[in-house]
Structures are given as structure tokens and as C-alpha cells.
Amino acid sequence: MASASSDTPAVQAIQATKMFLDGAVIAYRNLNLEIRAQEILCIVGPSGCGKTTLLRSIAGLTDLSSGQLLVHGKPVKGPPDGVAMVFQHFGLLPWKTVYDNGAFGLRMNGADEATVKERVSRYLDLVGLRGFDKSFPHQLSGGMQQRVGLVRALAMNPSILLMDEPFAALDAQTRETLQEELLALMQRPEERKAMVFITHSIDEALLLADRIAIMTARPGKIDEILTSPFGWPRDLDGVQRNPQFAEMRAYIRSKLKAPTDPSKFKPATETA
Ligand SMILES: Nc1ncnc2c1ncn2[C@@H]1O[C@H](COP(=O)(O)OP(=O)(O)OP(=O)(O)O)[C@@H](O)[C@H]1O
Ligand SMILES: [Mg+2]
């Protein structure tokens, strides 16, 4: 686990730039962002603006092209300690049982079997998968598979949890259930951690986030960061009933609308 003190930001990006294909594609450019040690930061932004690439950079899965990226105050060089990632499409190993999928990250980190058993069982219980240890992923619903992905990440006791649209593939009902389960988990003091949660759903961001970072279109950078007015504890009904919900939702929607090229809307008479 990281030894940095709790007032060291979990993540700091300073003028961070990531290019692909010798600079032909700039995923994000001169991006500045500070993620606090125990906050839930939701990131919203247009498709292709570099959100997944940013998470992969924080997870040490890809290098920056320029600028700086610090996790717990230290430059990222390969996967940093204490960082776990939950992928959009579950990322489970189909030939392994629920238990072994849940244990995968911990075992990769060299944990002993007693620790694996204690932690994996605890999180399988917490997310309602008790009794499914020996099932295989194809025997589970999408929501249950996503819970296994969560167990795998949470069992590692990460200080930073990276979530890349983890609930996007789920039906609306299951998605709401998992959102509320995640909030309930994060409300436990012993489970609080920095969580970076990417979503295309403004409602999801408004429910989950302590702060919402809005990114610009590619090359992405942070356009604005909004602080949630909803406080803790919060739940879906309470948040949606709050008059500020509709206001913030409309504001974020307007920010995310693609900027229009005014020349396209010139009256025909002007160009004649
Ligand atoms: N390995 C790669 N090689 C080349 N280009 C890449 C690679 N990974 C990502 N890109 C490009 O970088 C840009 C940002 O991609 P990224 O996946 O980070 O976007 P995103 O914001 O997560 O989009 P979405 O909301 O659709 O998931 C895109 O133009 C993408 O084509
Ligand atoms: Mg993405």
C-alpha cells in the first residue's frame, strides 16, 4: 500500500499529454487534474476525448508523451501500488470460477491463500454473490458478472479505484442497484478510497460524484470541475428530488453538446 499521507493527492496530472501514432492522434493535451485521496471523481466528456487513455495512464498501462503524472506523489512508471481498475466489459476470465476471478488480482500481487479467502469471501458477500463461488461467468447475469469485476478490484484493497464506464452495459434497473451498492460501500469509512469513475451518464455522475470533471472534445483536457451539492449520505431518490439536480444536469448537458461551427449556419443570402 502507498505510504503517502492522506493530504497527498491520490493523482496529479500536470500538463499531461498523450499522443498516439507519432502524434497523429492526440488523446489528451496539457491536462491538469488533481484527484483527492478519498473523493469520488466522475469524469464525463465526449467520445474519444481520452478518458480511457487517461485511466490507463494512471494505471501505468501506457506512458505519457509529455508532462507529469503522479500517483501518491510519485511519478508513474508501470502499474503503481494500490491502483485497481474495473473495465467496462467485465474483463473476467471465462474458464475461471467466480471465486478465482475475484481472487485473480490478489494472487497476481502474491497474496497468501488465507488472505485471498478472507478478502474474496468478504466482498462476494458484500455484493450479494454468496453461494456463487463455484459458478462460471457464463452462468451469471451481466449485473452479476460486473459485481465479480468489482470484487476482484475491491479485494485488492486499492487506495485508488479506476472505473471505466463499469455499468454502461447493464440494464437501467441493475445499473441503479449497483450504483446504490457502490455508494453504500463508499460510505463505510474503512472502504473510502479515491474513486475515478468514467461515465457517459450525467445522472450517474450526479449521483455518485463528490466532484464532476467535464472534459473537452479531443484533444481532451479538463474544461471545468463541479462540486456536488448533494453531500453524504446520498441516494438516487434524494439526489433526483433535489432542485439542483435538474439545474446541474442541464448545465452539464449544455457543456457536452458538440460546439457548432457557426459558418455552417450562415443564412443562404450571405453566401450568394
Ligand atoms: N492504442 C491506441 N493507438 C492509437 N490510438 C489510440 C489508442 N488508444 C486510443 N487511441 C485514440 O485516442 C483517442 C482517445 O481514446 P479513448 O479510448 O481514450 O477515448 P474515450 O474518451 O475513452 O472515448 P469513449 O467515450 O468512446 O470510450 C481516440 O481518438 C482513440 O482512437
Ligand atoms: Mg473510453
Q: Report which residue type is found at 228.
A: S
Number of the ligand 1 atom closest to the C-alpha atom of 46: 25
Residue nearest to atom 9 of ligand 1 (CA): 53
For the chain, domains (ranges, CATH) are 1-78+158-166+189-272 (3.40.50.300), 83-157 (no CATH)
In 3-state terms, what secondary structure has residue 200? coil
Q: What is the pLDDT of residue 271?
A: 40
Residues near 173 by beta carbon (within 8 Å), at least 6 away in sequence: none
Instruction: Check pLDDT > 70 for residue 158.
Output: yes
| CA 241–ligand 2 middle distance (angstroms) | 30
Alpha-carbon distances of 205 from 60, 98, 212, 213, rounded to whole Å = 25, 29, 7, 9
State if residue 91 touches ligand 1 by the CB under 6 angstroms criterion: no
- How far away, in angstroms, is 52 Cα from ligand 1 center? 7
Beta bridge partners of 254: none
* Cβ(24) – ligand 1 distance below 6 Å: no
Highest mean pLDDT among 30-39, 79-88, 175-184: 30-39
Binned at pLDDT 50, 70 and 90, residue 120 comes out as: very high
Whether residue 148 contacts residue 178, with contact meaning beta carbons closer than 8 Å, is answered with: no
DSSP string, 44-79: E--TTSSHHHHHHHHTTSS--SEEEEEETTEE--SS
pTM of the shown model: 0.90
Nearest Cα residue to 160 out of 63, 72, 68: 72
Q: What is the pLDDT of residue 5?
A: 59
Q: For residue 28, how many other CB atoms are within 10 A of its CB? A: 28
Residues 271 and 87: their CA atoms lie apart, in Å, by: 49
Q: What is the rounded distance in angstroms from the CA atom of residue 57 to the CA atom of residue 16?
A: 10
Residue 29 Cβ < 6 Å to ligand 1: no
The DSSP 8-state label assigned to residue 217 in this structure reads S
Q: Quote the ligand 1 centre to 181 CA distance (angstroms).
A: 29
Q: Of 84-93, 111-120, 203-212, give the lowest mean pLDDT range.
A: 84-93
